[in-house]
Amino acid sequence: MRLYVNVDHVATVRQARMTDEPDPVRAALMTEQAGADGITVHLREDRRHIQDRDVDLLMNMATTPVNLEVAAVEEMLTLACAWRPAQVTIVPEKREEVTTEGGIALCTNEAFRSVADATRHLKQEGIRTSLFVDPDPDVIRVSADLGVEAIELHTGEYANASSSERMQQLRRLAKAATLARSLGLAVHAGHGLTYDNVTEVAAISELEELNIGHSIISRAVLVGIERAVREMSDLIRRARTS
């Protein structure tokens, strides 16, 4: 099982001040040193967190595969084909959402066409493509028909489920993973996974990659805060004693 760390939330903190810290690229390189198997970044159309500069640098500096999440729109496909990351994950995107709210809807003609065009485009360029989808058998079959290499199962409903619904959501994910594997797809999963809920998902044998961001970055803030305060406090104290 591979762990890909999503560093978008490092960029979110930087963009809150429009400054240059914390640098998501530096964070990505540190996650690699800590054992991450890959780096995930979502370049949103509104550039609310990750910037083009971040992806540019990552493509040159990352030593693990970069998984670039983008919407199925021309601007993003052009950028993806120029950067040529190890993997592109196509995600749905709504400007008004706080975070990706669900898997790609492949049920409407318009959504299907844009995703089909995008996957064809990426395939022609030889870029491994994954589709972020709900654990829904029909959507998984359509994904396989589109000829993508992988799907990423949206784990948000499992993560948000009440304790009485959690087993049911877990079974849904496991069945979806089995179906996807039987159709020849590599199966990834992510969204809303935390230190508390990851174990059961990680035990699904068909899954080969997890994408986790918010919980890891949140924990990093807390486990790093003592050292950060100590360093600032030492600087201030030394200024008064020298």
User: Is there binding between residue 211 and ligand PXP (CB under 6 A)?
Assistant: yes
What gap in Å lies between CA 233 and CA 40, rounded to an integer?
Answer: 34
Nearest distance in Å: CB 154, ligand PXP? 7
Task: Verify binding: residue 121, ligand PXP, rule CB under 6 A.
Answer: no
Distance CA 150, CA 24 (A): 26
Residues of this chain, 158-177, that bind ligand PXP according to CB under 6 A: none
In the numeric block, which tokens belong to residue 43?
């370049």
List the beta strands (DSSP E) in the chain: 2-6, 38-42, 66-70, 87-90, 128-133, 150-154, 186-190, 207-212
Residue with tokens 């990680």: 202
Q: Which stretch binds ligand PXP (CB under 6 A): 105-113, 186-194, 196-204, 229-237?
A: 186-194
Burial class for 166, CB neighbours closer than 10 Å (0-12, 13-18, 19+)? middle
The answer to the question of residue 67 lying near ligand PXP (CB under 6 A) is no
- The yes-or-no answer on residue 9 being catalytic is no
Contacts of 240 (CB under 8 A, 6+ apart): none
Residue type, 131: L
Using the contact rule CB under 6 A, the part of the chain among 24-32, 52-60, 72-80, 212-220 near ligand PXP is 212-220
Q: If binding is defined by CB under 6 A, does position 152 make contact with ligand PXP?
A: yes
Site residues for ligand PXP, window 11-40 (CB under 6 A)? none
209 binds ligand PXP (CB under 6 A): no
Among 132, 146, 180, 186, binds ligand PXP (CB under 6 A): 132
Euclidean distance between CA atoms 25 and 94, whole angstroms:
25
Nearer to ligand PXP, 221 or 232 (CB): 221
Residue whose CB is less far from ligand PXP, 29 or 92: 92
Residue 39's nearest CA partner among 81, 10, 79, 68 is: 68
Instruction: Please state the closest distance from residue 236 (CB atom) to ligand PXP, in A.
Output: 34
Binding site for ligand PXP (CB under 6 A): 6, 8, 42, 69, 89, 91, 99-100, 132, 152, 190-193, 211-215
- Which residues are annotated as catalytic? 42, 69, 191
